[in-house]
Structure 1
């Protein structure tokens, strides 16, 4: 299969990237981050989360963030909604898309939410139904699709099963997520080859973490299977509490550099994203985890010195 001519990059930094930060990130910084990302050309931004502040205190200001952002016409602003209370918050905040989530690993589901995969998906039935009745898009995210911190290997049929369950809820898009970053290109191709048999290829996305340095290789493998949607986090924001030493989501700058090199259109300004990565890294006092971002910043600094 030939590579796609264009892809959609879903920017997850404002939600998935920031949610594990221990120090609270100011609401104004979050709003500024989303606005800068919108201006850089992203068509889909995961902007906030409507979960209990008790469990994710970093996301307690989701309503304020959604109220403060400048919305780019045609862009999709997504929020995570674990239950009906979260959905009500998302609806009031005028979200364009809600994100529901389940695991492909039975062990992960039991350890984290104390119920089976089937039970976890059933809990989302009223949320998905309410979203559809309100005209909102629904995205389903499947964690541990390429490996689990508790059971290790996750059989491909288990991933296919959860995709089918998510599809039955009416999901417009389904994410295949390598939550702990253990996936390899060969397994990535195997999983996507299987799930594209039961759900439209153009509605599937790849969500890769770079714990073992395989994220870009996995993205290329997914491209070879015709996948056209990928998640990334500016400056490589994020991490995983289940994988010691995890470096978090694949950096958006690295993904854009890859796509540009392959001649694949994204509609996103790489130079602007490099600047945004530096902005948010300095704002929260952490190192910029994007290798392409750091290299391009260094190149620009050297050029400025030479002139």
Structure 2
């Protein structure tokens, strides 16, 4: 029987998925976070790198691999709130339907700041939605990274990504770009976990798939410049931007990441079931990936 994987293949998981060789008996499909969340929960796939808020909400049904995540400590650059008014003055924010975690993170940030703007589902570029009357637009993923750079760039030989301003222009009007992971760090001091590799309880991925994922991660992180060069061409962005973007991520679910995940679970989904993780890799498995 084929074991089915569902991959959310944004650039931020390229160091794991680009070089992944599926072992015999494993198939894979791709989609945006909300699609893969639904596919895992309704049984169309058996494992997926799903939005962490869906893992939390469905903790009674799901477990996660213990040593994989998509996490950041500080800015993420691709989960952005574009807004024309100051954050405290926002009245109407357009929400993407592509990522439940990013929406939940925005809700937590707004609550922690004591803010209560109206949140409405709407798809489109920041320029289009801001022109349509929204004063804030939540955007995620590769498109959000491009839109962030279009608003606050360019990156010059004398500057770094962390030195770029948070204020720029989109569609001819001045916009501020609030990085939600950076806001989370300012509030909690913890990393933010955007995704885990989850599976339905009692049906974990075969060991050879997990081992292939670990080896692909080692390969990708060991050749990050090549991964960045390839995806920079696809995104139409400078290689320096994409390489910084990728080396900013944490792909192991380490103790600081678990602390951040625990705090987010408490704030976003009060009363959730206990989070469950599979057994950590043994010494022999770790040695095979070194």
TM-score normalized with structure 1 length: 0.30
Higher RCO (CA 8 Å, separation ≥ 6 residues) = 2
Between structures 1 and 2, the one with greater strand share: 2
